[in-house]
């Protein structure tokens, strides 16, 4: 009797196995395909986050001193500087043009309509480029900074989040639609001449040499593109950073990739085919909105938590130098040394001064 029961059980297991085999095979093939398409970072996840809690005592080398807070006719999101003028993108409110020749006596020169929802600004010479969430790319002539003149605009698919200028081309990050490659043509027109679509929601891109480095928010991924053909970029690498990948900055052979709520992964990209994570910076609260690289320093805005300053001279061991809690929600950063300008949302423009703390002389000893 036991033998019969055992044989019946064995037959049942065989039937179940035969039915499951095609499904298991399909799952296995899909997993292999996914791994080949979207490579994970096993060595990055094993890197310990550095203990850089802003509440701990920073190294007494730099200090951030408040200079002034300037109210704006809208909520400040992003900043671009040209000489003695600052251009501030206002959330759903156009752009403010400021005279910052006297940083302690800032003057509002003009409030300019730029579309509906400007997200970021880029200045090159006498041109100002605006990425407007719903109205694409806007181009302004700022040869007279107090009187910007719109000279061209181009509606692009998706949500225009940011712009990169490279070799007379404009690369527009289009959330949900990839990257549009745009050229300025005769007659003050902007024309789309290429597209990279193998990306879900690009928030920001940086270009160095023949490579573009992307932050893809929906894929939670840092992506590297080959720009050998600048009109038809090709995907080289894609790595998960385990969270919202919103920001990327490049300095020499290092990429600083932001995971919005966890911190920054520092990646060696001297060989774009074999990028190597070298360190992480942990944040304990807030949400990273912007990163600014200044020689061996890194500035980071963390929304309601304000501004952090890190020493990145040794990339494998970043060190917190200073922290300043702005009154609003810190988003964008611009620098006009020794001043740091912070777009502080509904609190306007916060100006800080970066100072080196002088070491006290010893009173004793021979």
Percentage of residues in the chain having pLDDT higher than 70: 81
Cα separations in angstroms, 134 against 121, 161, 262 = 15, 9, 29
Averaged over 38-59, what is the pLDDT? Answer: 46
- The answer to whether residue 258 scores a pLDDT higher than 90 is yes
Asked whether the CA dihedral 110, 114, 117, 119 is positive or negative, the reply is negative
Average pLDDT of every residue of the chain = 85
Cα separations in angstroms, 243 against 46, 276, 301, 327 = 16, 19, 18, 27
Q: Would you state the pLDDT for residue 48?
A: 42
Averaged over 274-290, what is the pLDDT? Answer: 94
Cα separations in angstroms, 341 against 79, 87, 236 = 8, 11, 36
Domain ranges of the chain: 44-356
pLDDT band per the 50, 70, 90 thresholds, residue 251: very high
Cα separation, 121 vs 332, whole angstroms? 10
Q: Would you state the pLDDT for residue 116?
A: 81
Averaged over 4-27, what is the pLDDT? Answer: 47
- The answer to whether residue 59 scores a pLDDT higher than 70 is no
Q: Would you state the pLDDT for residue 49?
A: 43
Cα separation, 2 vs 155, whole angstroms? 76
pLDDT band per the 50, 70, 90 thresholds, residue 241: confident
Q: Would you state the pLDDT for residue 359?
A: 64
| Bridge partner residues of 122 (DSSP) | 129
Closest CA to 114 of 71, 163, 69, 166: 163
> Pairing state of beta strands 159-166 and 149-154?
unpaired
Cα separation, 92 vs 75, whole angstroms? 8
* CB neighbours of residue 65 within 10 Å: 13
pLDDT band per the 50, 70, 90 thresholds, residue 240: confident
Q: Would you state the pLDDT for residue 44?
A: 43
Q: Would you state the pLDDT for residue 248?
A: 95
* Residue environment code for 285-295, b if the CB has 16+ CB neighbours within 10 A, otherwise e: ebbbbbbbbee
pLDDT digits (tens, 9 = 90+) for 296-315: 999 999 999 999 999 999 99
pLDDT digits (tens, 9 = 90+) for 161-207: 999 999 999 999 998 899 999 999 988 899 999 999 888 788 899 99
Q: Would you state the pLDDT for residue 361?
A: 58
Q: What kind of architecture, by CATH, is found in domain 44-356?
A: 7 Propeller (2.130)
Q: Residues, the chain, total?
A: 366
User: Is 88:356 a contact under the CB 8 Å cutoff?
Assistant: no
Averaged over 139-151, what is the pLDDT? Answer: 96
- The answer to whether residue 2 scores a pLDDT higher than 60 is no
pLDDT digits (tens, 9 = 90+) for 203-220: 899 999 999 999 998 878
Query: Model's pTM, two decimal places?
Result: 0.83
- The answer to whether residue 27 scores a pLDDT higher than 50 is no
- The answer to whether residue 229 scores a pLDDT higher than 90 is yes
Cα separations in angstroms, 155 against 102, 133, 193 = 37, 10, 13
């Amino acid at each position: 009797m036991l033998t019969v029961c055992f044989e019946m059980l064995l037959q049942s297991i065989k039937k179940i196995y035969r039915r499951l085999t095609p499904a298991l095979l399909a799952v296995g093939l899909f997993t292999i395909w996914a791994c080949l398409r979207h490579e994970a970072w096993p060595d990055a996840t094993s890197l310990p986050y550095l203990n850089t809690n802003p509440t701990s005592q920073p190294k007494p080398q730099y200090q951030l001193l408040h200079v002034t807070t300037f109210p704006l006719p809208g909520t400040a999101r992003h900043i671009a500087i040209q000489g003695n003028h600052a251009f501030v993108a206002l959330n759903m409110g156009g752009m403010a043009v400021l005279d910052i020749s006297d940083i302690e006596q800032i003057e509002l020169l003009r409030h300019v309509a730029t579309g509906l929802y400007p997200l970021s600004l880029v200045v090159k010479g006498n041109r100002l480029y605006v990425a407007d969430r719903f109205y694409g790319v806007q181009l302004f002539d700022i040869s007279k900074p107090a009187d910007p003149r719109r000279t061209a605009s181009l509606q692009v698919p998706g949500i225009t989040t940011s712009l990169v200028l490279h070799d007379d081309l404009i690369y527009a990050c289009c959330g949900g639609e990839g990257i549009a490659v745009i050229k300025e043509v005769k007659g003050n027109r902007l024309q789309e001449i290429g597209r990279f679509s193998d990306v879900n929601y690009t928030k920001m891109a940086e270009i160095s040499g023949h490579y573009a480095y992307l932050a893809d928010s929906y894929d939670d991924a840092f992506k590297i593109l080959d720009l050998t053909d600048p009109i038809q970029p090709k995907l080289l690498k894609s790595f998960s950073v385990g969270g919202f990948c919103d920001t990327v900055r490049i300095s020499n052979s290092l990429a600083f990739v932001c995971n919005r709520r966890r911190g920054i992964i520092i990646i060696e990209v001297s060989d774009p085919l074999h990028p190597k994570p070298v360190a992480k910076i942990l944040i304990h609260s807030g949400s990273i909105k912007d990163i600014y690289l200044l020689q061996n320093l890194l500035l980071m805005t963390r929304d309601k938590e304000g501004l952090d300053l890190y020493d990145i001279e040794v990339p494998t061991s970043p060190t917190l130098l200073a922290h300043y809690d702005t009154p609003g929600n810190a988003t964008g950063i611009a620098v006009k040394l020794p001043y740091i300008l912070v777009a502080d949302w509904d609190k306007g423009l916060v100006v800080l001064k970066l100072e080196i703390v002088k070491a006290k002389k010893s009173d004793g000893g021979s």
